């Protein structure tokens, strides 16, 4: 923050705006329950105020948790402060505390009691915090709506300029929603609107930035690029509106989001290098591309671990992928370990037939080897399972589910292919053979995903309707899907909740990811 402040000073801005809770990151979760954490926030606040002490310096708006000093309630607010000439000249707390999906703000914060404006350099500023700008019926199709509209209150009190500081995580299609939201406010009240969003990854959430500003007609006059920190001066009287393609293509933005998610997870957790099991399949290939883009080719190790059931292509294709990416590559055959396991267990399993037990042994041997590299060299193991597999439990607990971060766990298999096509749009990075081969776990002879699962285009639509849209079995079937397939899929999704509870955290890119925003019981028995 200080660096940006100092960089912008020579351009003599009036006001510098930073995002919601920028002092602590979003969401700080139960750290907010530690008194020493709150004390550190106070120190950071004083340092930021001190930046503005010279009378030549601009004001700054920034977001942070602040104690209310009250014995009642939660005792904290999610606040926006305006500091100027070494003092706080305005505090506006957040009114609408989102408590749904990944948001849990009523657990920690008390809502604002009122909306106030602040006079600043000839303007009356209406400063709001993220969700306070989201009370627009257009965006709550299921009827959820707050009674209060803080933006309307500020406009009616006579604001001449609206500022919203946000921590709005990425999800597919959300960019357009935010644009419409801010445009609507600006046009409705004939006021300029400055919207400043966080950027960076925090665990499962990826903040894409893409801050923007409208003039008093609702025309966009500045848009920040996505997925990187950026600061520019905006003249709110500017009438030269942005035209052309305002929205980033959604597949490209999912790729960028995943890269940033991996990059920040590794940086913030102290990992320099990552390790990935390369099967010659598309999931591990795409994971390797994302990791390479995130931390550079010298920091990603690909390991091929052929078993008796691996196709010849599994090693060759992985090797070609590694060459294309410029990442180091090792081959560690697992056949002898696998046969040794079978021998060790042969007496105990003598009366039994081969089943998934033997399949899973291979996945677990690979998981063990990858974790040995993680332990020995401090690599982060990236797991490769996609959303379709995580939904249906088509993955082995303590096997291919091993790892610290599940890069694709919110990316349906059909989207994995779309992202792979995007990756290859300029030149072939993922070898064509990897994209064209039929998905196979290669854990027994002639095993293909489609022998166990419905075709991915069908499966992914059912998953979306069940998980993201919350439809019932009957509603999904009414959309033209075979009822038996729908029932099989949703039962399998429910039955595999136990696996997802033990899975590594995954990066959220859809409106409903498995993770902090979807809380389901494991032990359930209800009719569909």
Ligand X SMILES: Nc1ncnc2c1ncn2[C@@H]1O[C@H](COP(=O)(O)OP(=O)(O)OP(=O)(O)O)[C@@H](O)[C@H]1O
Ligand Y SMILES: NC(=O)CC[C@H](N)C(=O)O
Residues annotated as catalytic (active site), given as ranges: 20, 94, 130
Q: Which is nearer to ligand DND, 193 or 309 (CB)?
A: 309
How far apart are alpha carbons 503 and 402 in whole angstroms? Answer: 8
Q: Which is nearer to ligand DND, 23 or 443 (CB)?
A: 443
Alpha-helical segments (H) within 77-172: 150-156
Q: Is 130 in the site for ligand Y (CB under 6 A)?
A: yes
How far apart are alpha carbons 441 and 438 in whole angstroms? Answer: 10
Structure tokens at 487: 């029932």
Instruction: Name which position in 62, 84, 120, 134 contacts ligand Y (CB under 6 A).
Output: 134
How far apart are alpha carbons 176 and 151 in whole angstroms? Answer: 19
Q: Which is nearer to ligand Y, 210 or 320 (CB)?
A: 210
**Cβ distance 230 to 259 under 8 Å?**
no
Q: Is 345 in the site for ligand DND (CB under 6 A)?
A: no
Q: Is 412 in the site for ligand DND (CB under 6 A)?
A: no
Of ligand Y, ligand X, ligand DND, none, which one sits near residue 167, judging by CB under 5 to 8 A according to partner kind? ligand Y
Q: Which is nearer to ligand DND, 138 or 525 (CB)?
A: 525
Instruction: Name which position in 103, 207, 309, 379 contacts ligand Y (CB under 6 A).
Output: 103
Q: Is 496 in the site for ligand X (CB under 6 A)?
A: no
CA angle 457, 461, 462 (to 5 degrees): 120
**Cβ distance 99 to 136 under 8 Å?**
no
Instruction: Name which position in 20, 410, 442, 449 contacts ligand Y (CB under 6 A).
Output: 20
Residue 81 Cβ vs ligand Y, minimum distance, rounded to whole Å? 17
How far apart are alpha carbons 433 and 427 in whole angstroms? Answer: 14
Of ligand X, ligand Y, ligand DND, none, which one sits near residue 356, judging by CB under 5 to 8 A according to partner kind? ligand DND
Q: Is 460 in the site for ligand DND (CB under 6 A)?
A: no
Query: C-alpha distances in angstroms, 439 versus 105, 277, 280, 314, 354?
Result: 41, 16, 10, 12, 22
How far apart are alpha carbons 289 and 144 in whole angstroms? Answer: 40
Q: Which residues are annotated as a binding site for ATP?
A: 277-284, 384
The CA dihedral of 153, 156, 159, 163, to the nearest 10 degrees, is 30
| Burial of 55 (C-beta count, 10 Å sphere; 0-12/13-18/19+) | exposed
x/- map, 49-88, ligand X, by CB under 6 A: ----------------------------------------
Query: C-alpha distances in angstroms, 152 versus 22, 131, 157, 159, 175?
Result: 25, 13, 8, 10, 22
Q: Which is nearer to ligand X, 75 or 333 (CB)?
A: 333
Total number of residues that touch ligand DND (CB under 6 A): 17
How far apart are alpha carbons 407 and 427 in whole angstroms? Answer: 23
x/- map, 370-409, ligand DND, by CB under 6 A: -------------------x---xxxxx-xx---------
C-beta neighbour count of 399 within 10 angstroms: 19
Q: Between β-strands 199-202 and 193-197, what pairing exists: parallel, antiparallel or unpaired?
A: unpaired
Total number of residues that touch ligand X (CB under 6 A): 20
SS3 180: helix
Q: Which residues bind ligand X (CB under 6 A)?
A: 277-279, 281-284, 303-306, 310, 314, 366, 384, 389, 400, 439, 441-442
Q: Which residues bind ligand Y (CB under 6 A)?
A: 20, 98, 103, 130-131, 134, 166-168
Q: Which residues bind ligand DND (CB under 6 A)?
A: 356, 359-360, 363, 389, 393-397, 399-400, 441, 443, 449, 498, 522
């Amino acid at each position: 923050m200080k660096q940006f402040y100092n960089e912008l000073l020579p351009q003599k801005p009036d006001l510098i705006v930073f995002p919601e809770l920028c002092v602590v990151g979003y969401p700080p979760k139960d750290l907010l329950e530690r008194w020493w954490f709150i004390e550190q926030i106070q120190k950071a606040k004083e340092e930021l105020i001190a930046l503005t002490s010279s009378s030549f310096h601009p004001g700054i708006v920034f977001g942070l948790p602040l104690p209310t000093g009250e014995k009642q309630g939660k005792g904290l607010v999610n606040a926006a402060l305006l500091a100027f000439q070494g003092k706080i000249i305005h505090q506006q707390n957040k009114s609408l505390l989102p408590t749904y999906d990944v948001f849990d703000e009523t657990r920690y914060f008390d809502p604002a009691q009122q909306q106030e404006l602040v006079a600043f350099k000839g303007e009356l500023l209406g400063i709001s915090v993220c969700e306070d700008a989201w009370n627009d019926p257009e965006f709550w199709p299921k009827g959820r709506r707050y009674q209060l509209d803080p933006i309307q209150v500020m406009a009616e009190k006579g604001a001449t300029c609206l500022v919203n500081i946000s921590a709005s995580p990425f999800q597919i299609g959300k960019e357009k929603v935010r644009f419409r939201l801010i445009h609507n406010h600006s046009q409705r009240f004939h006021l300029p609107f400055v919207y400043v969003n966080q950027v960076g990854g925090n665990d499962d959430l990826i903040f894409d930035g893409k801050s923007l500003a409208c003039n008093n007609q609702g025309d966009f006059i500045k848009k920040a690029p996505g997925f990187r920190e950026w600061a520019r001066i905006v003249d709110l009287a500017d009438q030269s509106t942005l035209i052309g393609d305002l929205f980033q293509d959604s597949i490209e933005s999912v790729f960028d989001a995943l890269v940033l998610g991996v990059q920040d997870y590794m940086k913030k957790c102290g990992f320099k290098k990552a390790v990935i099991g390369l099967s010659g399949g598309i999931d591990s290939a795409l994971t390797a591309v994302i990791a390479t883009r995130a931390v550079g080719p010298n920091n990603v190790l690909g390991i091929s671990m052929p078993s008796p059931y691996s196709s010849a292509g599994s090693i060759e294709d992985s090797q070609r992928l590694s060459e294309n990416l410029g990442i180091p590559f090792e081959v560690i055959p697992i056949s002898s370990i696998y046969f040794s396991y079978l021998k060790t267990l042969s007496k105990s399993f003598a009366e039994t037939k081969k089943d998934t037990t033997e399949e899973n042994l291979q996945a677990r041997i690979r998981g063990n080897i990858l974790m040995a590299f993680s332990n020995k060299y401090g690599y982060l193991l990236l797991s490769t399972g996609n959303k379709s597999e995580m939904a249906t439990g088509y993955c082995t607990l303590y096997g291919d589910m091993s790892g610290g971060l599940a890069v694709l766990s919110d990316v349906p298999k059909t989207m994995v292919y779309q992202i792979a096509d995007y990756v290859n749009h300029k030149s072939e990075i993922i070898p064509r053979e990897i994209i064209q081969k039929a998905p196979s776990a290669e854990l027994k002879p002639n095993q293909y995903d489609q022998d166990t699962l419905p075709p991915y285009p069908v499966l992914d639509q059912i998953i979306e309707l069940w998980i993201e849209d919350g439809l019932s079995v009957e509603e999904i079937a009414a959309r033209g899907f075979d009822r038996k397939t729908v029932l099989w899929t949703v039962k399998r999704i429910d039955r595999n909740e136990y696996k997802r509870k033990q899975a590594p955290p995954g990066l959220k890119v859809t409106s409903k990811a498995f993770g902090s925003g979807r809380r389901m019981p494991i032990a359930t028995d209800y009719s569909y």
